Each structure stands twice: as structure tokens, then as C-alpha cells.
Structure 1
């Protein structure tokens, strides 16, 4: 069938012949594609919003800290306290599959002072440079702690954005200035930038002052104790596979019962990431089921209406056949009408969906939330192609029925 302007006008006239019926039929397709695209865009935005909470953290990381023992063992009573030590880092580092091992110690409720300005409820953290592999430091000014700082026990610090703002003002480079934290003077060597993640390890990075771990140990006389062990796995290894070996090594050295499940807390961040990923896969599946179900019901409506239209146009089709129209021409006309009706409704649904998602984005931006409610260009093209294919599918049965109409029978029915 030759598709030109006259053909298109004829199709539009046929569709507009019964405006109410065509509008209600098109609405089913419009609503179906609108639901599908909006849910997909909303799902992407919600995923981006949730993923921002984990931004900067190693996905294959784990954290270990001591708890009261739950079992008596080798003369030690149940319920005793014990401490992780720096020597545990060396032991755990020898375990197959373990990549980065570092530690963290913190002191809550400190006050930082610069001249006449204060920043209260600050967390002082003792860190090694390797901690950057666990929680990526977004450096805005200066640098993070390095190995020389550790070796020389330098009294230097890397401060959070909120601390810097309260002491020096907004967007001021604090590097080189001296601040007093918990009664000790430190020279600022760097400042953190924006931290969009909401996961906090021993306090918010915005409200913390990080100092070399060796300086922290000497200042607060903690000896070889550590508060938290942080580690990542090598490529190809999972935390769940290596966790039993880590627990075994630590328990053996600290004389903890091998079956004691209360003596240490093991946070598997990899499992959390995997759980979130599985959640969004399930959400995406549900979105496709709801969207496609709604869209298919709309397409079935189009097919039913086209069947009614063919029945009403039996005489017209018979006359066309009588004056020389081939069955293929009749079939192409019905398929084209079905496709045009579906495509117009589908494109309207996609356009309205993009508009709604853009409004949601504007609302999120005004709230400073890092969501991204939108559909990609490829997704929009894919939705348009799917609508076109479903439109053709919806017209197959009516077109086949129209193609089989005999001219004599059609005129006799009239």
C-alpha cells in the first residue's frame, strides 16, 4: 500500500468518524505506555536516590568490631570485653582473598576551635591512608593523610565540610591553618568536599576531623588497640566466603570460643549492596509486569474496536474489492489504521510521561536530592518501536477478517 498524504487523511477521517470510540480506545494505549515509561523512569530515579546513599563506599568491603563474649572459654568467663589490635591487621592481611585491611579509631563529642569560632560535637578519627580505599575521600582543598604523616606522627588533620564552614566560613581554603581539637593543636592539610552518601562509619565525614592513626594512638594512649577493622576483598572473592577465615584467625589469637557468635560484629557491606541490587531487579520486573499488562489490555481494546470497525465497513470493503482492490491492499489499510491509532496514543503517552518525570526532577532539585527521574533516549525509542509493533499486532485479526470479505456477500448483506 502506498502511504501518502491522501492515505493518511483517509485514515484520520476513518478514525475521526467515531470520535468518542476512537478516543476511549486510544486512551487504553495512552495509559498503558504512560504507566510503563513513568514507572521505568521513576524506578531509575529511585535507584539513583538509593545508590547515592552508598556513594564512595567500596562495594566489596566489610567491617569488624569487638563485642562482649557469649561463651566461656579457656578460663575466661562469659561476657568479658576484649579489643582488636593492630597486629590483627597483619594476620588478616595474610588470608587468601583479602585485599585492603586498615583500621579506625574515633573519639566523640570533641570541640574544635579556631580563634573565636567553635565547632562542637566533632568526631576525631584516627585513620591510615588506606582508609581512602574503603570510603573514598572527596578532597576539595589540600590532600588526605599520607604515609609520611603516619611515620612521623604529624599533628595534621583533614577536616569535614561542616567543620570547615563553622570555623573558617563557606568555601574558604583552610589548608595551613592551625585549629585546636580536644585541647591539641593540628595543622589543617585538607578539607572534604560534598558527601552525598548517607552511610556513616563512626560519624559523619562532614562533622569529623581525621588525624594520622599513629598521632591518635600517641595522643590518647590507646597502645595497639583499634576500634574498627575495615577491609576489602580481592577481585573474584566474596566477603561471605572469606568471613569464616577472618573470624577463625581473630578468635584463635584472642582466645575466643570458636562457636561464639556474639563476640564480634561483622558487617558485610557487600551483602547490603547485593540486597539493594536484588531489590531493584525485583522492582524492575514488577514495573514491566504492570506496565506491559496495562499496555496489552489497551492493545486488545484497539483490536476489538478494529473488529467492530471492519464489521461496520463491510459494504465499503466489498465495494473496494469489486472495483479492483486486492486483499493485500485491504489488509494493509486496516493494519495501517490500527498502527496509526496506536502510535498516536503511544507517542502522547510517552510525551506526557517525560513531562511528569521532568516535573519530578525539578521537585527533587529544589530539595537538593540526587534523584534522576528520566528515561534515556534509547528507552524512549524502544517504547515507540514497541508501541508500533503492538499496533500492527492489534490489527492482524481485523485485517485478516477484512481481507476475507467477498464483494458479492458484502453487497448482499447491505
Structure 2
């Protein structure tokens, strides 16, 4: 029997029982579609995490105060008051292979312009913050060293703040009030839009660090030090040097625990990528279970088909059909179910992933590998679960088959 003829007979047999064939394929369709959707969601989560960390800057190290053991209880990083501006200056002066050092403080305030007001995050920054966070001033200027030295009440605002307080007017040169204190707007930042995690990157106000410390917050410490290393291969070395320098400056000797936390964003990204990859594989594995269920459905329906067509099998064998011919006929039927179900599953999975990405704020990422693997798996499922019914059909005794009612 020719291969093409076997395919024709298989398709004819499936079309003769359309509803049963569709219901059999449904398990494969759901399985393949679920695998594609789950993996695209997992890949989307990984991309969001990666983009969020990358948006903080390249080759970044962030130092925050805290993470000390006090009375047996670990305080949260950033809650301590041990990190000073002098620490940032010392890092900049004494450690090599560093491009920028930008100490910061921040808090939330209501920003007022006349009868307009807007709640936003206010950051105390230095001029290096512009470079380290890859910001661009669309109009006006940025905070300067002179502003730091003089504790000037000046502010650079994001486009969200500018729109809500000034509408279409140019804010540069006008005054706003922060904590009931007047600040002159000297610049507006170019829009960066939402981050991958949905945070508005344009909803912020930047003022000189010294002004924020002394005139706004009334503090002498800083809340973080952002450090950009000159190259990725020097990050670990620079991180170790920063830890040694800060331990020396904070008089931490022997086994005394650090009163600061140094985070390497490269290693953090690797950790988060590894975690999200495991999540993606877990989601894909859960979805793949439905493929196995679909395979069992194929075996079940093929067993029914063998029983229904026992006399047909007997006639074929009596006319000279070999074990191989019968085996091939039923295997092709199960493979056709797997192929058609896999293709329809791919269409459904891609469509659902695109719908999720378009109509929700959740990002999905479609890649070729999961699609190809899930399709190959659906064909393999059809082949694997079709072997037993095919062997049963091929081993039927032609005389007994002809007598079957």
C-alpha cells in the first residue's frame, strides 16, 4: 500500500466521524495552546524583570544603608542612617574604574502650582544622576555643582508633573511649592514613559541633594549611592573594594556585620533571570500535562476505531495487506490527529498570547522554540499513543476479524 494512499484512507476515516475526531483533537489543541500561552507569559515576566533592572543603568552597583543585626532582628536595607555623603565622595576619590557616583535621597510630597497640585516623588540628586540614569533634559538645564554648594531651591521635573501642573505651558523659570517651600523650575526631563513594570518614569521631581537634605528633609544621611562601573568585567572587583572601603570608614572590624548593603545589578539580573526561567519551565510543564491527557484521548479513540473496523481489517488482510500496511494505516491516522491538533493549537496559543498582550497591561513574548517543541511533542504524542492500537489492529487474525459482528 502506498504511503499517499494510507494518508488518504486515514483522512477519510477521520472525516467520516467529524465530531469524534474534533473532540479527540481538542485535548491536543488545548495542550499545545496552553504550553505556548504559559511560556509566552513566563518569557514576558522575564523580559519585564530584565528591562526594569536594566532601566536603572548599565554596570550598576547600588549601596544602601541598613541590613544590620540589632537585638537579633535584621533591619530593612535603607532604614539605617549610617550612610553619609562623605562615603559617596570617598568612593569616587579612592576607587578606580568608576564612571559616575550619584548619592540620592527621596520622599513623596504634594507639588503645588497656584491652584494645581500633584503628588510625586522628590529626589535629592547630584549632577552625575543625569548620566547614570541616562536622562535627557528637553528644555532648560539640570542640577549643577553650584546648586549643590549653594543649597539652591531649584527643581527639574518630569513630563507627567509638568503636564499636571502647567498643562501645555513651559514650566521653565516658573515656581512650584514643595512642602510649602518655593522652588524654581530650571528644567524639564524628556519623557521616558512607563517602565516594563508599569511605573511612570516621568512622575518625579529632582532637586539638589544638599537642598533636599538640609532644607526639605532635615537629615544628614543619604538613602542610596548609585555607582556606574566603567566595564562589566570589573564590577565584582569594584564591589569588593567598595565593601572594604565602607567597612574601614564605618570602623567595622573582625566579624562585625556590615551596616550597609552593596547590590550588584548584574548578579541580581542573573538571579532574577534564573528564577523567571524556572517559573517559565514550571508553567510550561503544567500545561504539557494536558498534552498527555490529549494523547490518552487519541489512544482511546483509536482503540474504538480498531474495534469498529475489525471486519474492514479482516478484509484487507484477506486481500493481501501485510502487518506493516495495517500498522502504517492506523499510525498515520493517529499522527494526522496530532498534526492537525498541533497546528490548531499553535494558532490558538499565538492568538490568545497576542490578545493578552494587546488588551491587558501584561506583556507576553512569543518565540519560535516553544512553538516548534510543542508541535513536535503533539506529533510525537500522536505517534506514541497510536502504536498500541495500530499493533492490535495489525495482529488481528483475518478469519476471526471476518467473523466479527
**Bigger mean CA offset, 94-103 vs 157-166:** 94-103
Check if 1:392 corresponds to 2:344.
no
Contact preservation (8 Å) 2:39, 2:370: no
Check if 1:32 corresponds to 2:16.
no
Select which of 311, 316, 319 maps to 2:312. Answer: 316
Q: Distance in 1 between matches of 2:164 and 2:211?
A: 24
Aligned to 1:166: 164
Give the TM-score taking structure 1 as reference length.
0.73
Q: Deviations over 1:273-298 (max 9, x none)?
A: 44432332222221232222221232
Check if 1:251 corresponds to 2:247.
yes
Select which of 352, 357, 363 maps to 2:359. Answer: 363
Contact preservation (8 Å) 2:318, 2:398: yes
SS of alignment partner, residue 230 of structure 1: strand
Q: Deviations over 1:271-329 (max 9, x none)?
A: 65444323322222212322222212321331343244334434323322333444443
CA shift for structure 1 position 167: 2.6
Q: Distance in 2 between matches of 1:308 and 1:111?
A: 74
Structure 2 CA distance for partners of 1:278 and 1:268, relative to 1, 3 Å: same
Counterpart mapping for 1:181-220 below 5 A:
181=177, 182-188=181-187, 190-196=189-195, 206-211=202-207
Counterpart mapping for 1:212-231 below 5 A:
226-231=222-227
Contact preservation (8 Å) 1:174, 1:191: no
Q: Distance in 1 between matches of 2:385 and 2:378?
A: 10
Q: Deviations over 1:238-292 (max 9, x none)?
A: 66x7655423312322434554436335455556544432332222221232222
Aligned to 2:73: none
Contact preservation (8 Å) 1:128, 1:212: yes
Contact preservation (8 Å) 1:251, 1:258: no
Aligned to 2:288: 292
Alignment: residue pair count? 391
CA shift for structure 1 position 333: 1.9
Contact preservation (8 Å) 1:179, 1:187: no
Q: Distance in 1 between matches of 2:304 and 2:273?
A: 47
Counterpart mapping for 1:275-354 below 5 A:
275-354=271-350
Aligned to 2:84: 84
Q: Which runs of 5+ in 2 are unaligned?
A: 71-79
CA RMSD of aligned residues (A): 4.4
Contact preservation (8 Å) 2:67, 2:261: no
Check if 1:109 corresponds to 2:76.
no
SS of alignment partner, residue 210 of structure 1: strand
Q: Distance in 2 between matches of 1:135 and 1:220?
A: 23
Contact preservation (8 Å) 1:299, 1:391: yes
CA shift for structure 1 position 208: 2.7
Give the TM-score taking structure 2 as reference length.
0.74
CA shift for structure 1 position 228: 2.6
Aligned to 1:63: 62
Q: Distance in 1 between matches of 2:217 and 2:16?
A: 89
**Bigger mean CA offset, 246-255 vs 56-65:** 56-65
CA shift for structure 1 position 174: 3.2
SS of alignment partner, residue 174 of structure 1: coil
Q: Distance in 2 between matches of 1:387 and 1:65?
A: 50
Q: Distance in 1 between matches of 2:404 and 2:176?
A: 99
Check if 1:141 corresponds to 2:138.
yes
**Bigger mean CA offset, 284-293 vs 316-325:** 316-325
Contact preservation (8 Å) 2:48, 2:196: no
Aligned to 1:77: none
Contact preservation (8 Å) 2:235, 2:264: no
Q: Which runs of 5+ in 1 are unaligned?
A: 72-79
Structure 2 CA distance for partners of 1:228 and 1:47, relative to 1, 3 Å: closer
Contact preservation (8 Å) 2:110, 2:119: yes
SS of alignment partner, residue 332 of structure 1: helix
Counterpart mapping for 1:231-246 below 5 A:
231-233=227-229, 234-236=231-233, 243=239, 245-246=241-242
